[in-house]
Structure 1
Amino acid sequence: MAHTPSVLFVCVHNAGRSQMAAGFLRAMAGDRIEVRTAGSEPAAELNPAAVEAMAEIGIDIAGERPKPLTDDAVGLSDVVVTMGCDEVCPYFPGISYRDWVLADPAGQPIEVVRGIRDHLQILIGNLIAELVPVPAR
């Protein structure tokens, strides 16, 4: 049986960017990639604008909850994607780290959050192609 890659998305509050990225990855990759999220300083709840922006395109993240960043979450991941959490993410040799530079949707109007969402969709598509490439015919 083939290995299922695991991706951890990390941002400060685990309430916007990381949750939108996880929503896209789950929707676009299905069970081909395991998905986790965490925050260095998790918020009490998701950013309502992030939930709304994702719902507009048919992806429901409303049931997700911000979670704290742990060494275990990092250590169990093949790829860790950080989004503005600076150097708080633990480093483990053998894990692939990516830093995606994206604006923080906290406090932003829905128009700005939509732009962040659309950028994430492109990044997630590229990540899926890298982790689970389609076999050549």
Structure 2
Amino acid sequence: MPDDGTRLPDVVFVCVSNRGKSVMAEGLARLDAADSLHATSAGTSAKLGASPNELSTQVLDEVGVDISAHRPRQLTDDLMRAADRVVVVGTAEVTPPDGVTVEVWDVDEPSARGIDGIDRMRLIRDELRSRIADLAVRLH
């Protein structure tokens, strides 16, 4: 909570499976913007009971974020209504209920340039960190 006692904005990061980009964004927001926003994540087609993507987990471990215990959850209208901002990270298709603010981040896809594996995930992680820093400033 901010020093002035006001409530932090609630942000839901969304991707398709809630095993990669959205959970990475959630973890990075908790690391870099915990004093500016409250982060959670969900998927439009969540892989319930699954674990986070191995490479996502590895690149977040490199910066001190542990997402290994995360379990995907399905995006719902109620979850979106409870959020101050819904941020779509990547290609997920989201139809928000009336009154819900959705922001779409067209995250670079390094694999389109032949960059795969851990190098791909590091580039995505670094882009997400930059976008989260900007979001925290805009919402604060």
State TM-score, norm by structure 1. Answer: 0.85
Q: CA deviation at 1:28?
A: 1.4
CA distance in 2, matches of 1:19, 1:98: 16
Structure 1 residues 7 and 104: alpha-carbon distance in aligned structure 2, compared to 1, 3 A threshold: farther
CA gap 1:39/1:104 in 2 versus in 1, 3 angstroms: farther
Equivalent in the alignment of 1:126:
134
Compare 61-70 and 28-37 and name the one that shifted more. Answer: 28-37
* Structure 1 residues 104 and 35, CA gap change in structure 2 (3 angstroms): farther
Kindly indicate whether residue 77 of structure 2 is the aligned counterpart of residue 74 of structure 1.
no
CA shift digits 1:41-85 (9 cap, x unpaired): 112221000000000111111111111111111010010001211
1:135 alignment counterpart: none
Count of residues paired in the alignment: 128
Gaps of 5+ in 2: none
Which of 61, 64, 83 in structure 1 is aligned with 2:67? Answer: 61
Structure 1 residue 34: Cα displacement = 1.7
Q: How does 1:94-109 map to 2 (within 5 A)?
A: 94-102=99-107, 103=109, 108-109=116-117
User: How many percent identity over aligned positions?
Assistant: 34
Name the SS for the 2:34 alignment partner.
helix
Deviation at 1:131, TM superposition (A): 1.0
Q: Is the 8 A contact 2:45 2:74 kept in 1?
A: yes
Post-superposition shift, 1:31? 4.9
Which of 22, 35, 41 pairs up with 1:37? 41
- 2: distance between equivalents of 1:104 and 1:76? 33
Unaligned runs of at least 5 residues, structure 1: 133-137
* Shift >3 Å, 4+ stretches: none
Q: CA RMSD in A?
A: 1.7
